[in-house]
Every structure is written in structure tokens, then in C-alpha cells.
Structure 1
Amino acid sequence: MAQENYVEGCSMQIPPLLEADEFCFWKTRFETYIKSKDIDLCQVIQNDDFVFMMADPKIKMDIETPYEKLTDNEKKQLGKNNEAKVTFYNAPPRKEHERDFMCKTAKEVWHTLIITHQHNSQVKDCKIDLLTQQYEKFLISDEETIDSGFTRFNAIVTSLKSLDQD
């Protein structure tokens, strides 16, 4: 399905679409989406791919367990590795996909998105300072409705909260 035809909020099967200028908002929604979809996907994204090892008596080292020797549950968990990557491939626009496609694991994709869009701690601190100033100087003008003022205020608070979580 083309992203142009996708209507936000119409499906629990498609992750929220990434908007680079609203990354903090997207990040919170994406984390909630992943946790609600499958807690194993969250595990893969945060802690890396599931890998199953076994002892090889010939070389006296652990090696990756051949697929044929995996239990059904282990095979299902291995499937979560690719499911997590596919979930990421459905969220960002094409230019993001080209960068993320080079990552081997979902954890690498997640880390790349965070580094790309949240930047380093100095940029994050500057964003927090700017949002704090907006919060402290917040006013609803006479021409503005309460709803639109509340929406602006809520965007400031939500952005501050998401930046403070890291």
C-alpha cells in the first residue's frame, strides 16, 4: 500500500508513519504500537535479535544452532527478528528506508533512527531549552480558540516529556 493512500489511525496492522520533524511524537506512538502488537518485537528492538547457540564438541565452542535442531518455540522467536525489521520498513518514508535497509538487525534500525532524528545530547538539550521557553511563555491569543491553544500546549508538553525520557 502506498504511503500517500495510507490514512493515519485506520489500522492496527500498519505502524504509525514516521514524520522526521515530529520524531519524538512518532517515537512514543511507535513504542506503544510495538508493545501492543507483540512484546517479543519490543524485546528484539531493544535487546537485539534472538539467537540460539549450542555447544560444538568438535571445536569446543558454542555455535549457532542449525535450524533443523531448533524447537518450534525457538523457530517462532527467530521469526520475530524479521517481523521487527519489517515493522520498521513499513513506518518510515522511502528516503529513511534506504538508510535503514543497510542495518542487519531491528535494534540497529532503531538506533539509527534515534541518532538521525534525536541527534546528540547537545541538540537534545537545545530542543529542551527551546520547548521550555515556549512552555514558560505560552499564551492563548484572543483570536485563537481554546481547542487550538490546548493542542499547541499539549504538543509542547508531549515533546518535552518524550525528550526527557531518554
Structure 2
Amino acid sequence: MDINFVAIKGRMTCDAKLVPGRTGNLLIIKLATNHGQGEKRKVTYHCVMYYPQTESEEKFLHEHLRTGVTAHVTGNLGNYKDSNGVDTTFIRGQTINVLSFLEDTTSDKVDDEEEEIGRALAVLERPAPNRGAPARQEPPRQAPAVAVASKAEPARATATLQREAGVEVQF
């Protein structure tokens, strides 16, 4: 019995392309994978053809599969002859998982990040539960708060973090 199964994880080399197919819209993506180390390191390029199951999946994948995004694809190998008669191999995708997303630069995202950082700081500043009297009293230790600011609006994030919590900001 033969097995035709492919599972790859790689980075998008270009934005996903949506083209009309016989049974619905066809999503075409191109991934690059690395193998080997040092001077023997090689890059392999893969073409994936995928029929989204629903309109929402189609919209999501077309919107988020952009150059540089990491994706995981499972499927099987297929081939066809191109217009010049050359055999071309591709991956007939069965599942596509987006593993990384490009940064969104909208102000809503910055507000969400500030809110999330505020919740994290509240947890850090919350006193530890009392588990009995310590043998000797030591001043409580607190690690310096460090937050990673959005590269979309560093000045706004820096000002907010420094004003609210005196946090050291790293970019």
C-alpha cells in the first residue's frame, strides 16, 4: 500500500492568491522550508493549492496568509503538466494552520495591548498569599517590570507604560 502524505511548516514567500476554480475558489500559497545547517543549508520552495471549506475560512486565510507569515500545511502530493509540457509537483492542501500573524497597526490593537499589560502588571503587583509567618522578615523582592511595546506606536506605548507603572520598555 502506498502512502501519499505531506506535512510542512514554512514561511510564506508571497501573499496568498485566490483564483476561481471548477468547484469553488482555489487558494494558492507558496511556502519556503529550510533544511541542513551551515554551508549545507538549503531552501526548498513549495506550491500549495487549497480549496477553502467555507467563505469565512476563505476570507480568513486570504487575509492572513501574507509574505513572511509562518504556516503549517498537511495534504498530499499532486502533479500536472504545465503549458510547456513540464511535469510540475504541488501540494494538494487538506489543512492549513496560520502559526504567526503580521502585526496589526490599528489603534484598537494598541489599546488592547495596553489593557493586557495593565492586567499583567496588576498580577505582578498583587501580594503573594500569606503561607504562615516567615522565620525572619525580609523586604519583599520584586523583579523589575519589563514589557515589550508594540513597534506600531512605540512612543504612545512607552509613555503609557512609564506613566502608569514606571516600567522599563524594550523594543
Greater strand share, 1 or 2? Answer: 2
TM-score, length of structure 2 as denominator length: 0.26
Which structure carries more relative contact order (alpha carbon 8 Å, separation 6+)? 1
Larger-gyration structure (1/2):
2
Using the size of structure 1 for normalisation, the TM-score is 0.26
Q: Which structure carries more helix by proportion?
A: 1
